[in-house]
Chain A
């Protein structure tokens, strides 16, 4: 099995600048913030909120590629979103699921507690059963790269389940501060306003 950091490094090397990347809380946000400091990131999407936020954004901006970096514990809290994604069928959405089969994988010293995927649950099968036809499982960097490149160049929705080590044993060098949710909101919304020509933040006076 591969580590989360290895796959995120791979993604950081190939993801185009204009692809919007949304990250679940924990090490998906922490690592991605170190690897890819850019305006097109939305961090800190809490338990059960990563893929639903990505769905709303992908429907609002149907011509923009969107990648959700979700995780097993986060997604299973709100699993019904997979059915909603299948039915809404946004062509521009790719969900990358970092499936480390445990809660608190961001703990540095020992895995936390097992999620359902450490037992019998297979989230690729769940995604397919929900109606997301383009669902797969990868376990190494080469297959991950192939699947990401294919997803970013074809119509989705895509679901890539990445089976990763339960514990993050390798880490990016911490040299940057990941923006807090409010700071990140202004940065991300401002970037989308600039590149999509939509008004998001408004005047503060009720318009927009």
Chain B
């Protein structure tokens, strides 16, 4: 992805008040992860898998942080049990930011994630917005984080390839 698009994601997180993030790097979002790791305002924790990242974000919330999880579409599948748990049992807010593979702009072989991402979020009762235009990245991240915190539940932002071109 282009650095200026990654910068929009970081800008959105900062304007949303996110000060803590956890995740596992993926190719689509590697610039975002690198920027987070260098950022002084957001404590980024690189986890070994996305379920672990979910627990880390969940724990940080109890310490007063405003956490975000940066997850690949494949990683969302790994995180599912813990995400479902904190949403449906504990009811704790985390922003989930996902570079959405398998949607508009992606090759056919990425179609796996079209079949798992939105149905998975729906099954976990996690609201989400899909961003297809880069000019909507910052605002949508802010809106989704605000709703997550108001509703005390995870809310996801899916950034498809069209938005990240």
Which residues of A are at the interface with B, using a C-beta cutoff of 8 A? 22, 42, 44-61, 64, 78, 80-81, 83-84, 87-88, 181-182, 185, 188-189, 192-193, 196, 198-202, 204-208
Contact = CB atoms under 8 A, between A and B. Distances in A.
B6 interface: no
A59 B45 contact: yes
Interface in B43-72: 43, 45-49, 51-65, 67
Contact of B91 (A48, A56, A81, A185): A185
A53 B59 contact: yes
B63 A44 contact: no
A80 B48 contact: yes
B56 A55 contact: yes
Nearest to B19: A60
Query: Which 6 pairs across A and B sit closest by C-beta, in order of nearness?
Result: A60-B63, A80-B48, A56-B59, A198-B64, A52-B55, A53-B59
Interface in B131-157: 146-147, 149-150, 152
B90 interface: yes
B49 A80 contact: yes
Contacts of A84: 45-48, 52, 56
Interface of B: 20, 22, 43, 45-49, 51-65, 67, 81-82, 85, 89-92, 146-147, 149-150, 152
A49 B90 contact: no
Contacts of B64: 60-61, 192-193, 196, 198-200
A78 B49 contact: yes
Given A182-B89, A206-B146, A206-B149, A56 B49 contact: no
B45 A200 contact: no
Contact of B82 (A48, A58, A188): A48
B90 A52 contact: no
Nearest to A45: B55
Contact of B147 (A60, A185, A206): A206
A101 to B, nearest CB: 23
B71 to A, nearest CB: 14
Given A59-B43, A59-B60, A78-B48, 11 more contacts: A42-B62, A50-B55, A52-B51, A52-B59, A53-B59, A56-B56, A58-B63, A81-B47, A81-B55, A192-B63, A200-B64
Nearest to A48: B51
A60 B65 contact: yes
Residue among A45, A59, A60, A198 facing the most chain B CB atoms (10 A cut-off) = A60
Contacts of A88: 45
A78 B55 contact: yes
Contacts of A202: 149-150
B93 to A, nearest CB: 9
